[in-house]
Amino acid sequence: MLSNICKRGFPEDRLDKIPEPKIKRDENGWYIVSISEGVKVYIEKYYDFLEKLWDRAAPLYQEVENKLADTPEDSMEAKAFYRSRKLILEIVLGTIKKFYTADDSLGVFMSPWCFGTVVLEKVEQVRDMIKKGEPVKHDVGDYPYYVVRYIDETHRKALLDLFSFPEKAFSMRWQYSELLKRYSKTLTNITTSLQSVLLMVRSYTS
Q: How confident is the model at residue 185 (pLDDT cuts 50, 70, 90)?
A: low
Q: How confident is the model at residue 1 (pLDDT cuts 50, 70, 90)?
A: confident
> Could you read off the pLDDT of 17-34 as tens digits, one per residue?
877 778 888 999 999 988
Whole-angstrom distance, CA of residue 117 vs CA of residue 155 = 12
Question: Hey, is 193 helix, strand or coil?
Answer: helix
> Could you read off the pLDDT of 186-201 as tens digits, one per residue?
445 544 555 555 555 5
Q: How confident is the model at residue 175 (pLDDT cuts 50, 70, 90)?
A: very low
Residue 202's CB is within 10 A of a number of other CB atoms, namely 9
Q: Which residues are within 8 A (CB) of 39 and not within 5 positions of it... i.e. 6 or more apart?
A: 33, 111
Alpha carbon distances (Å) from 195 to 169, 183, 205: 40, 18, 15
Question: Hey, is 196 helix, strand or coil?
Answer: helix
pTM score, whole prediction = 0.82
Q: Pairing mode, if any, of strands 29-33 and 40-42? A: antiparallel
Q: Which residues are within 8 A (CB) of 70 and not within 5 positions of it... i.e. 6 or more apart?
A: none
> Could you read off the pLDDT of 37-54 as tens digits, one per residue?
788 999 999 999 999 999
Ramachandran angles phi, psi of 185, nearest 5°: -65, -40
Give domain limits for the chain.
2-205
Nearest 10 degrees: CA dihedral of 78, 83, 86, 91?
Answer: -150
DSSP label at residue 108:
G
DSSP characters for 121-170?
HHHHHHHHHHHTT---SS--TT-HHHHHHHHHHHHHHHHHHHHT--GGGG
